[in-house]
């Protein structure tokens, strides 16, 4: 049965993580997998999450299955957080929300929905993008159509190329937008640029899709989520794939949601039934623990404020780190202060990346994509010296 399975290359990010773990040098730095770390290098459980989990342990009376669409309190509180309690589409019953196994699960479910609704489903992806985007959609036979989003040396998105791609979209295509803090570049579209692209998609009939994971780490939770609210307000149909991994620090709990904006309430009923059936075949029902913790945080004003405050502290660390690197005097880092989020595409070639790993214990993918908050505060002088040593100025 398995003799015909071919050898596959490993996942680049997890290969970086494995090399880091095996590196016993005390000065080692992990700039690979996208996990937020504080100034001491820890990836702590957020205090609001800890408090919610203690309450869950004390109050929980069953481990029975949850509904097919997920935890009702989680879906209600996420609707309010992401779309706003006064969202007209919610009042019109045009929004379908389903809990998913992380943001990746939301993307996979969206791909399955697109595949079931179209005979030749396509998704337009800006390059570079999260490495798994194309693969997740390909697994559901959704063809990726790439366009240029960014190129080395540019401090802004390639808006002309993005708008050309939007004009070339067809009815029922998906067109992917990143949320705030673009992965992997840190270079975001402005709201005006997003709106221009959305207006084109409304004319072509393509469906905008938002992949949003880093809300709260860009300009603040409300400003960052305005991207989602604005897209829903300007679209007849849309999809939003959301992750709770970064904003709530629930990486291993696999908490996410998919929101689908439908043309009318009748269409929403059909989409809800379809999503429930698709999810049943994929995962049966989504995991409960992390979703219940999120719902408890968002339903309790004290926990909500504690979460917002801690998230603001994480954002401030990112901003300070970027500013410090941008002011280092190395021209290759000068643009970091103008970008957002934890990621940056450092102008390194594979040979330089290899030398950073071999000679300086700094681990990152060959592409140069760096998770900047993988650095401890005390790592910065070593990091800057290592860049100079491999020829970066």
Catalytic residue numbers? 130, 211, 213, 246
The encoded tokens of residue 305 equal 């404020």
In angstroms, what CA-CA distances link 198 with 62, 121, 166, 293, 344? Answer: 45, 19, 8, 34, 26
CA dihedral angle for residue 55, residue 290, residue 79, residue 59, rounded to 10 degrees: -20
Q: Which residues of 306-315 are buried (b: 16+ CB within 10 A; e: fewer)?
A: bbbebbeebb
Question: What is the residue whose two structure tokens read 């004390």?
Answer: 58
The H or E element that residue 153 is part of is none
**CA–CA distance, 277 with 392 (Å, rounded to integer):** 53
In angstroms, what CA-CA distances link 208 with 34, 113, 173, 192, 214? Answer: 25, 14, 8, 15, 19
Contact 120/143 with Cβ under 8 angstroms?
yes
Contact 206/172 with Cβ under 8 angstroms?
yes
**C-alpha dihedral sign at 288, 294, 297, 298:** negative
**CA–CA distance, 250 with 163 (Å, rounded to integer):** 35
Question: What φ, ψ does residue 74 adopt, rounded to 5°?
Answer: -60, -45
DSSP state string for 236-272: SSEEEEEE-TTTS--GGG-EEEEEEE-SSHHHHHHHH
Q: Please give the distance of CA 133 from its chain centroid, rounded to a whole number.
A: 11
Burial class (CB in 10 A: 0-12, 13-18, 19+), 2: exposed
Q: In which region does residue 123 sit, left (phi positive, over 0), alpha (psi from -120 to 50) or beta (all else)?
A: beta
């Amino acid at each position: 049965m398995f003799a015909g399975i071919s050898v596959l290359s490993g996942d680049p990010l997890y290969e970086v993580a494995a090399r880091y773990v095996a590196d016993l040098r005390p000065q080692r730095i992990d700039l690979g997998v996208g996990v937020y770390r504080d100034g001491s290098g820890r990836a702590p459980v957020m205090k609001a999450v800890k408090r919610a989990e203690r309450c869950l342990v004390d109050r929980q009376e069953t481990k029975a299955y949850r509904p097919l669409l997920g935890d009702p309190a989680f879906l209600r509180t996420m609707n309010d957080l992401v779309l706003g309690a006064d969202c007209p589409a919610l009042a019109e019953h045009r929004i379908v929300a389903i809990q998913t196994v992380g943001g990746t699960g939301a993307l996979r479910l969206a791909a399955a929905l697109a595949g079931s609704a179209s005979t030749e489903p396509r998704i337009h992806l800006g390059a570079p993008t999260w490495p798994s985007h194309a693969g997740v959609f390909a697994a559901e036979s959704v063809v990726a159509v790439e366009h240029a989003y960014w190129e080395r040396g540019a401090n802004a998105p390639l808006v002309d190329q993005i708008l050309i791609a939007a004009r070339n979209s067809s009815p029922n295509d998906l067109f992917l937008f990143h949320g705030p803090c673009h992965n992997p570049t840190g270079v975001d579209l402005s709201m005006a640029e997003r709106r221009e692209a959305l207006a084109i998609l409304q004319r072509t009939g393509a469906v905008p899709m938002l992949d949003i994971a880093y809300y709260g780490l860009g300009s603040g939770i409300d400003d960052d989520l305005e991207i989602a609210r604005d897209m829903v307000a300007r679209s007849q149909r849309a999809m939003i794939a959301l992750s709770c991994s970064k904003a709530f620090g629930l990486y291993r709990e696999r908490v996410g949601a998919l929101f689908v904006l439908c043309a009318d309430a009748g269409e929403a009923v059909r989409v809800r039934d379809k999503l429930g059936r698709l999810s049943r075949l994929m995962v049966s029902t989504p995991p409960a623990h992390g979703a219940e913790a999120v719902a408890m945080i968002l339903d309790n004003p004290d926990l909500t404020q504690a979460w917002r405050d801690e998230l603001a502290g994480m954002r401030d660390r990112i901003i300070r780190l970027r500013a410090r690197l941008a002011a280092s005097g190395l021209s290759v880092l000068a643009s970091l202060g103008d970008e957002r989020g934890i990621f940056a595409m450092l102008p390194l070639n594979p040979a330089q990346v290899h030398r950073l790993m071999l000679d300086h214990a700094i681990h990152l993918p060959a592409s140069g994509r760096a998770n900047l908050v993988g650095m401890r505060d005390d790592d910065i002088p070593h990091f800057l010296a290592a860049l100079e040593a491999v020829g970066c100025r």
